[in-house]
Amino acid sequence: MSTEAESGKAGALFEDFLKEQGTYEETTEQAVKRVLAFQLAAAMEEQHISKVEMARRLETSRSQLDRLLDPSNDGVTLAVLARAARVVGRSIKLELQ
């Protein structure tokens, strides 16, 4: 079996495990938030945008920005994430599956 096929099989087994545990949706949401926070921080770094400057551009406080960038904070709305993405010249792409 190829490495890619093995990886796909392992992923499917892990998804099945999470579903059996009843944590699939929550785990997926947390993973998406972590990826978005990481990508936003990376875009800020690439563009040499400090947290103070990013907060100013978003017209918010530094502590609010810290919450936005905190991958474990699940209280961030999609609208805030989309606005932050626009500030760094990006967009968020979501799709229903």
* 74 within 8 A of 30, measured Cβ to Cβ: yes
Cα torsion through 6, 25, 75, 95, rounded to 10:
70
> Domain map of the chain by residue range?
24-97
pLDDT digit string, tens, across residues 30-74:
888 888 999 999 999 999 999 999 999 999 999 999 999 998 887
**The whole model's pTM is what?**
0.73
Superfamily the domain 24-97 falls into: lambda repressor-like DNA-binding domains (1.10.260.40)
